[in-house]
Amino acid sequence: MQKVYLDNAATTQVRDKVIERMQEALAQFYGNPSSTHSYGRSAKTAVEKARKTIAKTLNAQPSEIIFTSGGTEADNMILRCAVRDLGVKTIITSKIEHHAVLHTAEELEKEYGIALHFVELDENGNPSLDYLEHLLKQDDSKKLVSLMHVNNEIGNIIDIRAIGDLCKENAALFHSDTVQSIGHYPWDVQTISIDFMTAAAHKFHGPKGIGFAFVRKNSGLKPMIFGGSQERGHRAGTEPFHNIVGLEEAFVKAYDNLETETQLVKDLKRYFIEKVQQEIPGAVFNGLSGDMEKSTYTLVNVRLPFDKQKGLMLLFHLDMKGIACSKGSACQSGSNLGSHVLTEILPSEELEKPSLRFSFSKYNTKEELDYTIQVLKDFAES
């Protein structure tokens, strides 16, 4: 049985060089980065080097990079601390955000009594800038806007520059979950009006359990986790040194090879779209995922022309054929509910049809895509 991994939006294969660096760190540089002896100093130097490397690539300052356990912690930290420390009374977001943002905002509404507003979305899932402006001008409360740069299920890319400008014009803070775009797109935080961003290493061929938050200097955020003075006092706890050097290596490799690897994956996505259209009549791409210009090059979300009963067996069938993909975010895999993203943008009759997310990486091949399409075609004809 052929094995094909097409769930790279959930997590990616770790690069060999990343594994080598992490093994070296675990074996040779095992000192606590907070210790003052030579073992600790060696580890601390490497942690700060990683911070500087990331900051330089983003055109940020090293003090603006805070290492976290990943995107979920970073999103929670920023939203919670913005309400607790910065006087935010209103959060504006959308109903198709990652649950790390949605559920946090909902909890803050309960705990602190903040106002929670959702921007209107068009039929493809893009936020209305006119409605966002309306919400920003609605009252004088301190506001935080949280809108993800690349949607993790349908791949839509928002106009982050325009949203940042709107927030700045209306004295609102702007946070973006950039987990699906950091490592895949170039960034310059000096040219975008953005206060907070989040990243996770395992989305760009790094290890799980490590990520970072970009927090604009002098933001006023205070720690969410208390204890030692690690991360310049922003996040207590012994730094996972091996994960941090793994993050750095994956980050460096992602940007050193950005142009060539982007083109490779773009070609795969374009090929997959063409093959689906040729071989599976009636298949539709959800959101803007079938648009090469308006969605990320890393994924497509396909609605297949099968009835509900047949659709129930589709993911299981693909798995039995060695093909890994998903119905949506991996974080929802334990839920019996359908995709909250598709629920917002599709009519109820279309939700009855099975939708699958296929996401690509440099490790995929056209031969794997041919095999996947053939399995889908055979299933459609069975």
Answer whether 89's CB lies under 8 Å from 115's CB.
yes
Closest CA to 256 of 77, 57, 66, 23: 57
Contact 222, 85 (CB under 8 A): yes
CA dihedral (329, 323, 281, 158) positive or negative: positive
Cα–Cα distance, 252 to 249 (Å, whole number): 5
CA–CA separation, 198 vs 177, rounded Å? 5
70 close to 200: Cβ distance less than 8 angstroms: yes
CB 210 within 8 A of CB 70: yes
167 is catalytic: no
Smallest CA-to-CA distance from 351 within 303, 318, 310 is with 303
Report yes or no: 205 and 169 within 8 Å, Cβ to Cβ: no
Output the CA torsion 11→16→22→26 (10° steps). Answer: 120
C-alpha distances (whole Å) from 339 to each of 99, 205, 342, 356 are 11, 25, 5, 10
- Amino acid at the residue 356: L
For residue 148 the two structure tokens come to 């993800």
In whole angstroms, how far apart are CA 130 and each of 3, 89, 127, 163, 259? 46, 21, 9, 10, 34
Q: Which two tokens stand for residue 362?
A: 């440099």
The two tokens of residue 161 are 């520059």
Measured CA distances, 311 to 2, 330, 353 (Å): 22, 18, 7
**Among 149, 145, 148, 170, CA closest to 92:** 145
Length in residues, the chain: 382
CB 290 within 8 A of CB 300: yes
Closest listed residue to residue 9, CA positions, set 371, 357, 363, 376? 357
Q: Could you give the residue numbers annotated as active site?
A: 331
